[in-house]
Amino acid sequence: MKIFQPKNLQYLFIAAFAFFFMESCKPKGTQSAATGDASKAYVAPGKYDEFYNFVSGGFSGQMAVYGLPSGRLLRVIPVFSTDPEKGWGYSEETKPMLNTSHGFVPWDDAHHPEMSQTNGEVDGRWVFINGNNTPRIARIDLTTFRTAEIIEIPNSAGNHSSAFITQNTEYVVAGTRFSVPPDDANGDVPIDTYKQNFKGNVSFIKVDSVSGNMKIAFQIRTPGVNFDLSHAGKGNSHGWFFFSCYNSEQANTLLEVNASQRDKDFIMAVNWKKAEEYLKAGKGRKQAVRYAHNTYSDKTHSATSKIETEITILDSKELADMVYLIPCPKSPHGCDVDPTGEYIVGSGKLAALVPVFSFTKLQKAIADKAFDGDYEGIPVIKYEAALHGEVKKPGLGPLHTEFDEKGNAYTSMFVSSEIVKWNVKSLEILDRVPTYYSIGHLMVPGGDSRKPFGKYLVGYNKITKDRYLPTGPELAQSAQLYDISGDKMKLILDFPTIGEPHYAQAAPAGLISKNSLKFFKIEENEHPYVSKGEGQAKVTRDGNKVHINITSIRSHFNPDNIEGVRVGDEVYFHLTNLEQDWDVPHGFSVKGANNSELLVMPGETQTLKWVPEKAGMYPFYCTDFCSALHQEMQGYIRISPAGSNVPLSFSTGKTPTPAAGKTATPATK
Amino acid sequence: MKMAKLLTVLFFSTSLFFISCQEGVKKDEKELDVQELTKDQPETHGSELKESDITLGTPLDQTMVTTGKGIYELKCQACHKLTEEKLVGPGWKNVTKTRKPLWIMNMITNVEMMLETDPEAQKLLEQCMVRMPNQNITTADARSIVEFMRNNDGEK
């Protein structure tokens, strides 16, 4: 293993010394670490934050929305997860969002949110985020702050090198971390046939510029390496995409050791404009696959899931001038492009330097054929030919880099728990601050776009240890906010996060708040079971299915007395919230339902499925405090034994009587 | 390892130590007056209608009556009956005889303002105990509702 080589041992000793010193000064109080003006993170009651901060929820499968600089949690958005609070993944309308070719997968590991851009600037329309485990990409709509679309990625496993976008959101990419046998090949092969049978893939998913809808345009088939992270070129390098990869050794076991043998792995540079030409010229090969594509409609208030069956493969071995490999030291992790698009920063997590590549030099190297042989048919550029320079001795364990608008870069150092500020052109180190502890990603608002807002920087840490009051073995995750408006970075706030934060994005609040939807217009509701007004509330029987079109408004349901439902029936409560004002959701729950609640926004319809198993009386009520008479917002549904002849009836505000024949048919049989 | 290299790393490592031990969090010079800041929390209301914004005609505009009925069924019926009977809110029978059209329309389109300022609206809130919801009805639609109410009260 590389890091146990003698020369590195010395670094370890030094790092240990540094940690020792840090530990030794801790008793003075962790507050002493705050070097900046903490009042800069203070947002007074009733005041808004300057930035929205979208933070991946890691293994919670969610994405959290914070305000900056306050660190206040504004919302948690279920993405690749169910959320009983919102009925997400529990209501009939939302279940299809979590459908995959493997069926219903209610969880994933969400890593890298990326905001949509126009001309390389954050435009505040959508956030894309990847699900690692069962490879998926989601699009979150920033008018509703809800997941609007999820597309599964075939030929992929551990969808880590995602969900990064091109500068006009032409594409969102998805690179596979695990190489695997392609989906249409027999995967039942010995694992040690990795080198023959396992392939890498990076997917280019076209994003419709108006609707945002995603479609896999093509996949580039690559050698069987592990793709780690990626970023698009911008400005002059627009048209290119850069992916870091490790395991160029193509090991299939104990990667910790076996994928750390080579001195250099690669940054893969993809000329996607060239790939588009090949696609147009019919150079792609159609492959039969199966993957789910799920979309949510704010008109029908329902999701649909479709299984797609074909994609187009462009082979990196066969198609020239499309893919190049740039050697990058020691298992590169972060792959970040500066705001000008000229400099590509590769962070070798085991390296003692940070290489910075130049796009201009890369183009020259390609023109001059300054190659160092090839790797499975892909030209390998000579390291020095593409290199702008190296940041020497930046710290230990460089992972990720973000940028400000003044030509500076900020790199996170996992092993030495610090953030290092350096000048992109001169490669000179300008400042360093400690983080608490073991920082992973970091984020400057717009910090991976052409227009960063270099006022704040947030570090997202892997270890919390003693930062907050202890809560048993499992601790909150930790984020730290730094003021980077001056020459020196200054820590001004600590705040905990939901799940393990990986990457994050942020944008000026005004870009997003102005588009935020307040309620759904009831007139535009196209749900098949909508009740547009209480006059349309009804109960109907269709065989053993009972459909209850029920309405809510402060503070009653209509109907709130329902009889004639029997054991063996499938009951569907289709709740329409008739309110038309902001911030007046109504909730709905029924006793004993093996399900969550519904939380229905004004003008929306959502459906709770319930299969009662025992005759009896079942109360239901509104779960979201809605008015002074919220506690009165309740009803009863009577469940009779199978075969009972209790007639179907429903009412509100009167003694129940058998329902009129036109909307409810008496129980038959 | 070369000594220079070692020294560099040592330098950075110890600088970590110094930064992490830095004392002297500077106190903010001007104190923030939180209470003062909390006063500035504007709530957006609709714009108040004036007498001059409303004209009534006879005979009734039947198109407005039909439109008003549709809005009633979608957005009002859940709480208001067309008889005098109170449901959640008061029944609508004779409402046009006891309230001015201006009052009714402000109640529909600017309910927050009315509940804050109008004694009659406040009295109703005490009786009903539920704030009348803002159903996001436009001024034109509120006018149609008034026409529907006049029809319900027997005007021709």
| Same structural domain, A67 and A148 | yes
Q: Could you list the residue range(s) of the whole structural domain that residue A627 is in?
A: 522-651
Residue with tokens 């709740």: A575
What CATH number is given to the structural domain containing A506?
A: 2.130.10.10
| A7 CB within 8 Å of a chain B CB | yes
Residue A432 forms part of a structural domain: yes
- Shared domain for A506 and A527, answered yes or no, is no
Helix (H) or strand (E) holding A353: strand A353-358
> Chain B closest CA to A577's CA: distance in Å?
11
Place of tokens 């005098």: B84
Contact flag B133-A554 (C-beta cutoff 8 Å): yes
* Backbone φ and ψ of A594, nearest 5°: -80, 65
Give me the numbers of helices (H) and strands (E) for chain B, helices first please.
Answer: 8, 0
Task: Considering only the beta carbons, identify the residue of A393, A532, A581 that sits closest to B74.
Answer: A532
Give pLDDT, residue A20: 43
Tell me, yes or no, whether A310 and A414 share the same domain: yes
pLDDT of res. A259: 85
Residue where a domain stops, chosen among A474, A490, A513: A513
Min Cα–Cα distance to chain A from B126, Å: 11
A574 domain-assigned:
yes
Helix extents (H) in A198-342: 255-258, 272-280
Question: What is the rounded CA–CA span in Å between residue A372 and residue A370?
Answer: 7
CA separation for the pair A349, A274 (Å, rounded) = 31
- What separation in angstroms does the CA of A477 have from each of A41, A120, A463, B147? 19, 31, 7, 59
Residue B2 — very low, low, confident or very high, per pLDDT cuts 50/70/90?
A: very low
Same domain? For A128 and A231 the reply is yes
CA A392/CA A150 separation, integer angstroms: 42
Q: How far apart are CA A117 and CA A287, in angstroms?
A: 31
Residue of A nearest to B132 (CA): A554
For chain A, how far is it from start to end, CA to CA, in angstroms?
A: 75
Q: Residue A665 domain-assigned?
A: no
Is residue A257 in some structural domain? yes
From chain B, the residues in CB contact with A391 under 8 A are none
CB A557 within 8 A of CB A534: no
Cα-based torsion angle of the residue sequence A127, A128, A133, A134 in order, rounded to the nearest 10 degrees: 120
Distance between CA B23 and CA A28 in Å, rounded?
9
A118 CB neighbour count, 10 Å cutoff:
13
Measure in Å the smallest separation between the Cα of A211 and chain B Cα atoms: 27
Residue A25 forms part of a structural domain: no
Report the alpha-carbon distance of residue A96 to residue A401 in Å, rounded.
Answer: 37
* d(C-alpha A579, C-alpha B79), whole Å: 11
| Rg of the Cα atoms in chain B | 31
pLDDT of res. A27: 34
Q: Which of A322, A301, A302 is nearest to A313 (CA)?
A: A322
Whether residues A32 and B21 touch (CB distance < 8 A) is answered with yes
The structure tokens listed for B50 are: 């004036």
Query: What's the CATH number where A638 sits?
Result: 2.60.40.420
Answer whether A535 sits within 8 Å of B19, measured CB to CB: no
Q: How far is A88 from chain B (nearest CA, A)?
A: 26
Closest partner CB to B19 (pick from A395, A434, A579): A434
Residues A143 and A207 in one domain: yes
Kindly state whether residues A492 and A558 are assigned to the same domain: no
Taking alpha carbons only, the member of B71, B101, B69, B98 closest to residue B84 is B98
pLDDT of amino acid B44: 55
CA distance B125 to A608: 33
Whether residue A18 lies within 8 A of chain B, CB to CB, comes out as: yes
pLDDT score, position A7: 46
Among A17, A605, A651, the residue to mutate for chain B (most B Cβ within 10 A): A17
d(CA B135, CA A579) in angstroms, rounded, equals 6
Asked if A559 contacts A608 with a C-beta cutoff of 8 angstroms, the reply is no
Tokens of A570: 């499938």
Query: A44: Cβ–Cβ under 8 A, 6 or more apart, which residues?
Result: B32, B34, B37, B38
Q: What is the pLDDT of residues A574-604, one digit of tens each?
A: 999 999 999 999 999 999 999 999 999 999 9
Q: State the total domains in chain A.
A: 2
Return d(Cα A639, Cα A561) in angstroms, integer: 12
- A233, A237, A239, A241: CA torsion to nearest 10: -40
Find, in chain B, the residue whose alpha carbon is nearest to that of A26: B21
CA–CA dist A18, A3 (Å, integer): 18
Listed residue (A578, A606, A91, A525) closest to A298, CA to CA: A525
Query: Would you mind telling me the total number of residues written for chain B in this entry?
Result: 156
Q: Which residues of chain A have pLDDT under 70?
A: 1-35, 655-669
Query: What pLDDT is recorded for position A351?
Result: 83
- Whether residue A107 is contained in a domain is answered as yes
Same domain, yes or no, for A473 and A575? no
Backbone angles phi, psi at A519, to 5 degrees: -160, 165
**Could you read off the pLDDT of A284-295 as tens digits, one per residue?**
999 999 999 999
| Element (DSSP H or E) covering residue A361 | helix A359-367
In what helix (H) or strand (E) does residue A412 lie, and over which residues does it extend? strand A408-413
Interface check for A9 against chain B (CB to CB < 8 A): the answer is no
A261 shares its domain with A351: yes
Place of tokens 């409303």: B54
Q: Does residue A306 sit in the same domain as residue A428?
A: yes
CA distance A560 to chain B (A): 13
Contact of B135 with chain A, judged by CB distance below 8 Å, is answered with yes
State whether A653 and B87 contact (CB < 8 Å). yes
CA distances from A416 to A396, A516, B15 (A): 5, 41, 12
pLDDT reported for residue B37: 57
What is the rounded distance in angstroms from the CA atom of residue A140 to the CA atom of residue A127?
Answer: 5
A370/A386 Cα distance (integer angstroms): 9
Closest by Cα among A569, A605, A604, A575 to A589: A575
Contact A110, A500 (CB under 8 A): no
Question: Residue B74 and residue B72: Cα distance in Å, rounded?
Answer: 6
Q: A86: exposed, middle or buried (C-beta count within 10 Å: 0-12, 13-18, 19+)?
A: buried
CA B68 to chain centre: 22
pLDDT digits (tens, 9 = 90+) for B104-154: 999 999 999 999 999 999 999 999 988 899 999 999 999 999 999 999 999
In chain A, positions 20-79, which contact chain B (CB-CB < 8 Å)?
Answer: 21-22, 25, 28, 31-35, 37-39, 42, 44-47
Q: Domain check: are A501 and A533 in the same one?
A: no
Between the alpha carbon of residue B109 and those of residues A626, B67, B95, B138, B142, the distances in Å are 20, 16, 17, 7, 7
3-state secondary structure A513-525: HCCCCCCCCHHHC
CB contacts of A22 in chain B (<8 Å) are: 16-17, 20
List the one residue out of A73, A139, A55 whose CA is nearest residue A504. Answer: A55
Minimum-distance CB partner of B34 among A45, A392, A579: A45
First to last CA, chain B: 102
Q: In this complex, do A554 and B73 lie within 8 Å of one another by their Cβ atoms? A: no
Which A residues, 552 through 611, put their C-beta within 8 Å of a C-beta on chain B? 553-556, 558, 578-581, 584
Minimal CA separation from A18 to chain B, in Å: 5
Q: What is the pLDDT of residue B15?
A: 46
* Angstrom distance (rounded) from CA A214 to CA A140: 12
Question: Is B50 in CB contact (< 8 Å) with chain A?
Answer: no
Alpha-carbon distances, residue A552 vs A164, A366, A372, A559 (angstroms): 41, 65, 70, 9
Q: β-pairing, A73-78 with A62-68?
A: antiparallel
Tokens of A280: 């147009």
Q: Which of B12, B17, B131 has the CB atom closest to A21's CB atom?
A: B17
Alpha carbons A117 and A126: distance in angstroms, whole number: 9
Q: Which residue in chain B has the smallest CA separation from A579? A: B135
Using the CB atoms, write b or e for A133-146: b if 16+ within 10 Å: bbbbbbbbbbebbb
| Residues of A with Cβ-Cβ distance to B15 under 8 angstroms | 432
Average predicted confidence (pLDDT) for chain A: 92
Task: Indicate the burial class of A583 (C-beta count within 10 angstroms; 0-12, 13-18, 19 or more).
Answer: exposed
Please indicate whether, in this complex, the C-beta atoms of B129 and A10 are within 8 angstroms of each other. Answer: no
Q: Considering the domain boundaries, does residue A16 fall inside one?
A: no
pLDDT recorded at residue A347: 87
Give the predicted TM-score (pTM) of the model: 0.89
Q: Measured between alpha carbons, how far is residue A320 from residues A119, A406, B98 in Å?
A: 28, 37, 84
CB pairs under 8 A between A and B: 129
A28, A416, A629 member nearest B130 (Cβ): A629
Nearest chain B CA: its distance from A48 CA (Å): 10
Does A492 lie in the same domain as A590?
A: no
What pLDDT is attached to residue B18? 44
Element (DSSP H or E) covering residue A546:
strand A545-553
Cβ contact B78–A578 (<8 Å): yes
Q: Are residues A355 and A448 in the same domain?
A: yes
Going by C-beta distance under 8 Å and a sequence separation of 6 or more, which residues neighbour residue A4? none
What DSSP designation does A162 have?
Answer: -
For chain B, list the domains and their CATH numbers.
60-152 (1.10.760.10)
Please state at what angle helix B62-71 crosses helix B139-152, rounded to 10 degrees. Answer: 100
Task: Give the ranges where A188-227 is alpha helix by DSSP (H).
Answer: 194-197
A545-553 and A538-542 beta bridge pairing: antiparallel
Which residues of chain B make contact with A580, given a CB cutoff of 8 A?
75, 133-137
Which residue, of A513, A535, A563, is where some domain finishes?
Answer: A513
- Measured in angstroms, the CA of B58 and the nearest CA of chain A are apart by 29
* Cα–Cα distance list, A478 to A292, A495, A586, B22 (Å): 34, 6, 33, 21
pLDDT at A331: 87
Structural domain contains residue A661: no
